[in-house]
Amino acid sequence: MERNKHYFYVLKCKDGSYYAGYTNDLDRRIDAHNQGRGAKYTRGRTPVELIHHEIFETQTLAMRAEYKFKQLTRKQKQKWMAKEDA
């Protein structure tokens, strides 16, 4: 994946919970999560699975998408992801 792009991504954790984040290197970041070097939230919930990602031109736009997703309830997140998969 290109490093000059900015990614918003959603992971599904081993316990069924969701984690949303931002990165400019998606493969490296997912590896870090699965090796226990990612966010504190995912450390005890590995392995994680990438279930969604979007590419943005700027860090600001990617982080805005992350923020909006994190404001949703679990039920709203599930509906949002079902709509994205359709």
Q: Is residue 14 part of a domain?
A: yes
More reliable by pLDDT, 81 or 54: 54
Q: Is residue 84 part of a domain?
A: no
Range of the domain at 43: 6-76
Q: Is residue 86 part of a domain?
A: no
Q: Is residue 27 part of a domain?
A: yes
The pLDDT tens digits of the residues spanning 7-20 come to: 999 999 999 999 99
The pLDDT tens digits of the residues spanning 32-61 come to: 999 999 899 999 999 999 999 999 999 999
Q: Is 1 helix (H, G, I), strand (E, B) or coil?
A: coil
Q: Is residue 82 part of a domain?
A: no
pLDDT attached to residue 81: 83
CATH number at residue 61: 3.40.1440.10
Output the pTM of the full model: 0.88
List, edge to edge, every strand of the sheet that includes 49-56.
18-23, 6-12, 49-56
Whether residue 1 has pLDDT greater than 60: no
Give the count of alpha carbons within 13 A of 12, CB side only: 9
Counted domains in the chain: 1
Q: Is residue 22 part of a domain?
A: yes
